[in-house]
């Protein structure tokens, strides 16, 4: 994945940044998100936040991004998702390849 790409996602691509709150750390949430994103063909990243939430950037066709957001409302079996905050306005996103797990911020 290259965050320094010079081209940007096409107009048909949906990009959403979100925060997932609840029991979402220490329950395989990030790795499960990576697996789901790769299965769906969504690009982006996921990481833990120091406040106990999980943050993600999802980029791809609308149907697949929305499918992943839907999955994130439940997450893996051990998770308890209380709330998912989705940012509707995302600045232009560089073209991302693949889906990765990032370090905690």
Domain range annotation of the chain: 13-101
Choose, from 16, 17, 38, 48, the residue flagged as catalytic.
48
In contact, 104 and 44? CB cutoff 8 Å: no
Choose, from 30, 38, 39, 49, the residue flagged as catalytic.
30
- CATH tag, 13-101: 3.30.70.100
* CA separation for the pair 91, 82 (Å, rounded): 26
Active site residue 80: no
pLDDT in tens, 32-69: 999 999 999 999 999 999 999 999 999 999 999 999 99
Provide the 10 A C-beta neighbour count for residue 102.
Answer: 16
Active site residue 17: no
pLDDT of res. 6 = 35
Q: With H, G, I as helix, E, B as strand and everything else as coil, classify residue 2.
A: coil
In contact, 59 and 37? CB cutoff 8 Å: no
Of 32 and 90, which is predicted with more confidence? Answer: 32
């Amino acid at each position: 994945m290259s965050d320094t790409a010079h081209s940007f996602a096409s107009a048909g691509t949906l990009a959403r940044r979100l925060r997932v709150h609840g029991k979402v750390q220490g329950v395989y949430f990030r790795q499960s998100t990576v697996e789901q994103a790769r299965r769906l063909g969504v690009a982006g990243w996921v990481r833990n936040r120091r406040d106990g939430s999980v943050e993600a950037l999802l980029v791809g066709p609308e149907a697949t991004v929305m499918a992943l957001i839907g999955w994130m409302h439940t997450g893996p079996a051990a998770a308890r998702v209380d709330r998912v905050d989705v940012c509707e306005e995302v600045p232009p996103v560089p073209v991302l390849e693949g889906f990765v797990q990032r370090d905690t911020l």
